[in-house]
Amino acid sequence: MKQNYQKELEKILAQEAERGKSLFLHSCCAPCSSYVLLYLRTFFRITVFYYNPNITQQEEYEKRVAEQKRLIAALNRDLEQPGAEGFPIAMQEGPYVPELFFRAVRGLETCPEGGRRCRLCFAMRLEETARQAKAGDFAYFTTTLTISPLKDAEVLNRIGQEMARRYGICFLPSDFKKRGGYQTSVLLSRTYDLYRQDYCGCIFSREQREKDREKRLQAED
């Protein structure tokens, strides 16, 4: 029987009598983080950890990280409005070293999206998140990745829990796509005029996107 990670998250939030504990939140991109930040910033003091060496083109990386910074600045400005609730959001940018990604997935270049290559990529990013969270003495860490309908929340939560045990820090379970989370992130992307990419980030997912696009065009002909 599959675990309901959204219900697990809600149980933790309900039990946290003290608001404002620290959360180290790995973010894959601004659009995916939008809903998560609005949802969790009333409970936690969030530091976004932007660590994505899987984005293998530097121009694409720089575009995405700039959007993340722009969104955080906008959300913090929103707190200045009368009646606004929540804690200010901070950001920490991790090292951008695509060679780490290529080393981690060597030999798996032709794996389909969602397979072993992706799981190793998730593990690489979540391990660094857990390591940095422990070093920074954060109360919790987690990731925005579970908001995507294309990402397996079961796999991501298992990896997060493994890294929590390895580094001795609490992992916040999630399935942010639930309760309309993904749909809300799409609306927020429009509200904040965010660049919304159509592939995960690595050159292999980009190639898969282009192949899928060609197939659709051929089918339409």
For the stretch 158-194, pLDDT in tens is 999 999 999 999 999 999 999 999 999 999 999 999 9
For the stretch 101-141, pLDDT in tens is 999 999 999 998 889 999 999 999 999 999 999 999 999 99
> Tokens in use for 171?
């992992």
Distance of CA 28 to the CA centre of its chain: 4
Q: Which residues contact 44 (CB under 8 A, 6 or more apart)?
A: 19, 20, 21, 22, 23, 87, 139, 140
Q: What is the pTM of this model?
A: 0.94
Asked if residues 23 and 142 have their Cβ atoms less than 8 Å apart, the reply is: yes
Asked if residues 46 and 89 have their Cβ atoms less than 8 Å apart, the reply is: yes
Asked if residues 206 and 199 have their Cβ atoms less than 8 Å apart, the reply is: yes
